[in-house]
Structures are given as structure tokens and as C-alpha cells.
Copies of this chain bind each other. A is one copy, B any other.
């Protein structure tokens, strides 16, 4: 039984490597919903969808989001009508958001709908949203607060970040099974995801940090930062805004209360002593998942540390 805390693209690739090496049913993924947003009245869960689509073999590899070979006819028609078009919703992808939104409006929880989508797409691993209540990552820039998608998609992460907040986290509860999955796992993995806006919102849900601190499982994180830069996405600027060094050490610092092992890239081997001073063990391997083989190799290296 392995439980993984996951953001979007980097997490999804790592998890795809992982399920190729284990019984997929024995994996529970706790997904970030801090990026969730509403577009065209639809509830979009970008990180949950990226993980689900990737494990279903449907992800658009080039973009890192959405469904491969998707068309954008609805988006084009929406532009003609004068609707919002800065968020790219593909035609096939839309079915997921319509399916989710209709069921949420009918009173189902996000956990229930996420499981129905997982099952519909044939994914065998369990996928849990971190919370069934809304927790929304907000980015404060010089012009005011933005939602995460406004920051990341509309502004292309090209604004100065002054602060990051997890709106609603205080009132949220961990979704059913989240705390149990952490406490009863044989191993807990923190995927190579942005510690501020992918893992941060999960940690902000009351009970999650406590569960990570109390679990008898070894807790292992894979650094999303290699050689002082995020492998993908805006993690660098966000970590700097939060006062964290942009390095595996910065990531370990954010997780130090409960982290046992940090997996870092060969290029960052020199950081090992600093990690040890934080009380975190270091495992050095190749963490750049540039193809399927390297995804599997990273997953294999991580699984070996658990033996």
C-alpha cells in the first residue's frame, strides 16, 4: 500500500512510472485541488484530471495537460459568442468537466465524482481529492490577488509573486480516506510537484500534516527542483516568494517536520550534507523524466529505497 501526494504533470509522470512496477490497486493518490477553478460555469480540477488522464493513457504528452488528439471546436465557437477563451478546454476534456459539474450540482461530493471519472476511464489506482470542500490557491501580485489559473494560464506566470494563500483551507476537512491512506500506508511518497502550489494546498488541509507526522510509514519526497530550477512550471518564483531556497534543500525545508527521505538528482548531490543537517536522508538518482524509461527508472529507484 503506497500513498502519494500529487500535483499535476510531474506527479502524473512519476505515478505512471510507479504503477508500471506495482499493482495499481495498491496505490492511493491524494490530489491537489487548490488549482480548481470554474470556467464557463464548469468545475475544473486540473491536477486531478492530469493524474487521471495520465494513468488512463489519455494525456496529451506534448502539452502536459488535456486529452491527446483533442479538438477545440467548442472553444472556437465560444470565441465567436464572445465568451471567455483564455482557459483552453478541449472537446473531449469538456465531457469530464460537464460530468463532474452536473454531479456536484446534484449533491455528490468531489470524492465521489473523482472516483466515477477514474472508474469510467479505467484507472485502477485510487484517486482522492485532498478535500471535498473548496480550498483555493490565491497568488498575490503587485496588482492584487489572482486565482491560480489566472496566474498560471492567463498571466502565464509572468507576474511578480508577493504572497500565496490557501483560501478556505482552515474550514476544509480532509476528504474521506485521506488521513487513513497516509496513516495506514506502507510508504508515503511526495511526488516531484511544486511545494508551494501543488503540495502546499494539500498540507494546508487540517489533519494532513498531523497524519504525515504520525504515520509509521517512511515518507519520501522526490525533488521537483534540479540544479536550482524547477523541472517544469513556476515553482522557482513561488518558492522564492515563500522565502524558500530554490533547491531540494528548500523543498526539504518546507517538509522537514515529517519528511524522512529526499530523492534528488545527481546534479544536486552536493546538497546531501545540508539535507542531513535538516534530519532528512538523501537518495541520489536521475530524477529527470524525459521519457518513459526514465520515468520507470526513477520509480524503480524510489521503490528500492523502500525495501
Report A's interface with B, CB cutoff 8 A: 40-42, 67, 70-71, 73-78, 80-83, 90-96, 98-99, 101-102, 105, 116-117, 120-121
Complex contacts, A105 vs chain B, CB 8 Å: 41
Find A73's partner among B40, B70, B116 (CB 8 Å cutoff). Answer: B70
A121 near B71 (CB under 8 angstroms)? no
Query: Given A102-B40, A102-B41, does the pair A120, B80 have CB atoms closer than 8 Å?
Result: yes
Using A41-B102, A83-B95 as known contacts, list a sample of 16 further A-B pairs with CB atoms less than 8 Å apart, ordered by residue number in A.
Answer: A40-B99, A70-B73, A73-B73, A74-B91, A74-B94, A74-B95, A77-B91, A77-B92, A77-B93, A77-B94, A77-B95, A77-B96, A80-B120, A81-B99, A81-B117, A82-B116
Q: Please name the residue on chain B nearest to A77 by beta carbon.
A: B95
A92 near B76 (CB under 8 angstroms)? yes
A99 to B257: give the CA distance in the assembly, Å.
47
Query: Given A101-B41, A102-B40, does the pair A92, B73 have CB atoms closer than 8 Å?
Result: yes
B67 near A98 (CB under 8 angstroms)? no
Complex contacts, A99 vs chain B, CB 8 Å: 40, 78, 81, 83
Complex contacts, A90 vs chain B, CB 8 Å: 73
Complex contacts, A94 vs chain B, CB 8 Å: 74, 77, 91, 94
**Chain B proximity of A97: nearest CB distance (Å):** 10
Complex contacts, A75 vs chain B, CB 8 Å: 95
B102 near A74 (CB under 8 angstroms)? no
**Chain B proximity of A166: nearest CB distance (Å):** 26
Complex contacts, A73 vs chain B, CB 8 Å: 70-71, 73, 90-92
Q: Please name the residue on chain B nearest to A81 by beta carbon.
A: B120
